[in-house]
Amino acid sequence: SSHGRVHHMSKKRWILPAALWFMSIRPIDAFLLQHSRACRGPSAATWKAVCVDPPPKGTIWQVFPEGTPDIAPSTASGVIGMWSAHSAVFDLRLGSGKHVQAELVNNVPGALLLHDVLSKEECLQAIVLSEAMGYQEHDLMKNTHAAVTWVADLENVVQPLFLRCQPFLPAILESLGGGAARQLRGLNARLRCYRYQPDGHQTFRLHRDDSFPMSSLDRHHGDRLVWDVSRGAESSVLTFLLYLSDEFDGGHTSFVPRHKEEALHVVDGICIAEDDTELITVKPRAGSVLVFYQTCSLDGDSESHPLAPLHEGSRVFHTRGKHTSPKYVIRSDVMYSC
């Protein structure tokens, strides 16, 4: 089954501060424009060729956890897999997001699709940037895709992305524990970039998404990640899944209906669904965002949101007779006050 028909939602007009529109901004690097054009080529070899080239020197840099000694980065290169990038490489302040439309996902309570959040060019720029940072392959049984973490700049990337989606996100949510209502705050700057090759093997098996604190770059040390910037004042409630590509078969985000969860069985800690289990599927569309509830479990506490759906990132396949790309997706989190 599919996510169903479009339910258009009201949207308030918003205007970025004039200073952001008129401030001097370097144009997107020629490297990205060149490789964006090349990435539209028909062959997988073209993708590989353009995506291993390094970006201009100094435009991306590795990021390390807060508290990492200054001497450690010289010996830890290529191990941690966290990076950040200069606004010359990726900057969303020039876009408007004025064409964003919302669609409810049928039979997944609280789930929402936002279309046209990023343009095709912005998606392609994000893909090339993530490839330049360098994906690391994983085979952890539950997930067998490649990943890299992009600690994005708040002003140039995270806040503009949030503003495009804010009119459709719940401004206030009830607290599960009966406390004060939770206020919408923004997006997590710790962007987890995932790549699924169209080989029919890579997947993210059935699971529920846990919640996270707000992370961002240290203001004084741009190569350090601060795990909890708010010091416990904010945590995530919703998953924010941004699709960057769609030229493939499969690759759905697939949800298990609540009434089917009892039929699941667990093998080595992994939830397995029977082959005939009918899933609720969402087909990736480049530039769209899928939003749904998390468990609200943070640091191992027992709180679990009743609307957190069991879901998977399904296998990706080649499209017969057509150009096929890997599935690229970015995971962030929608943050609320605690």
CATH number, position 268: 2.60.120.620
In the chain, the amino acid numbered 174 is E
Share of the chain above pLDDT 70, in %: 71
Cα gap 136→120, rounded to integer Å: 25
Judge contact between 129 and 85, C-beta under 8 A: yes
In a domain, 182, yes or no: yes
Query: Where does the pLDDT of residue 167 fall: very low under 50, low under 70, confident under 90, or very high at 90 and above?
Result: very high
pTM for the full predicted model: 0.79
pLDDT digits (tens, 9 = 90+) for 199-242: 777 777 788 888 999 999 998 888 899 999 999 999 999 999 99
In a domain, 201, yes or no: yes
**Among 292, 287, 320, residue whose Cα is nearest residue 124:** 287
In a domain, 129, yes or no: yes
Does pLDDT of 7 surpass 60? no
24 vs 58, which has greater pLDDT?
Answer: 58
In the chain, the amino acid numbered 203 is T
Token pair for 46: 């073209």
Burial state string for 271-298 with b = 16 or more CB within 10 A and e = fewer than 16: bebeeeeebbbbebebbbbbbbbbbbbb
292 vs 42, which has greater pLDDT?
Answer: 292
pLDDT digits (tens, 9 = 90+) for 232-266: 999 999 999 999 999 999 899 999 887 666 655 55
Cα gap 244→241, rounded to integer Å: 10
> Which one of 128-132, 155-159, 216-220, 257-261 scores highest in mean pLDDT?
155-159
In a domain, 97, yes or no: yes
Q: By mean pLDDT, which of 13-17, 129-133, 139-143, 282-286 is the weakest? A: 13-17
State residue 2's pLDDT score: 40
Q: Report DSSP state, residue 8.
A: -
Estimate to the nearest angstrom the gap between the alpha carbon of 294 and the chain centroid.
14
**Among 12, 56, 51, residue whose Cα is nearest residue 165:** 12
- 72: how many CB neighbours lie within 10 A of its CB? 13
In the chain, how many domains are there? 1
Cα gap 284→290, rounded to integer Å: 9
State residue 322's pLDDT score: 77
3-state helix, strand, coil in the chain (%, to 5): 20, 30, 55
pLDDT digits (tens, 9 = 90+) for 41-86: 334 443 444 444 456 667 899 999 987 776 555 444 444 589 999 9
Does pLDDT of 149 surpass 50? yes
Estimate to the nearest angstrom the gap between the alpha carbon of 315 and the chain centroid.
18
Domain range enclosing 289 = 27-68+77-337
State residue 206's pLDDT score: 82
In a domain, 236, yes or no: yes
In a domain, 17, yes or no: no
Cα gap 122→120, rounded to integer Å: 5
Cα gap 188→93, rounded to integer Å: 17
In a domain, 14, yes or no: no
**Residue 187 backbone phi and psi in degrees, to 5:** -115, 150
State residue 119's pLDDT score: 94
State residue 130's pLDDT score: 94
> Which one of 115-119, 139-143, 197-201 scores highest in mean pLDDT?
115-119
In a domain, 19, yes or no: no
Does pLDDT of 177 surpass 90? no
**Among 28, 59, 34, 60, residue whose Cα is nearest residue 46:** 34
Query: Where does the pLDDT of residue 26 fall: very low under 50, low under 70, confident under 90, or very high at 90 and above?
Result: very low
15 vs 43, which has greater pLDDT?
Answer: 43
Does pLDDT of 38 surpass 80? no
Farthest-apart Cα atoms in the chain, separation: 58
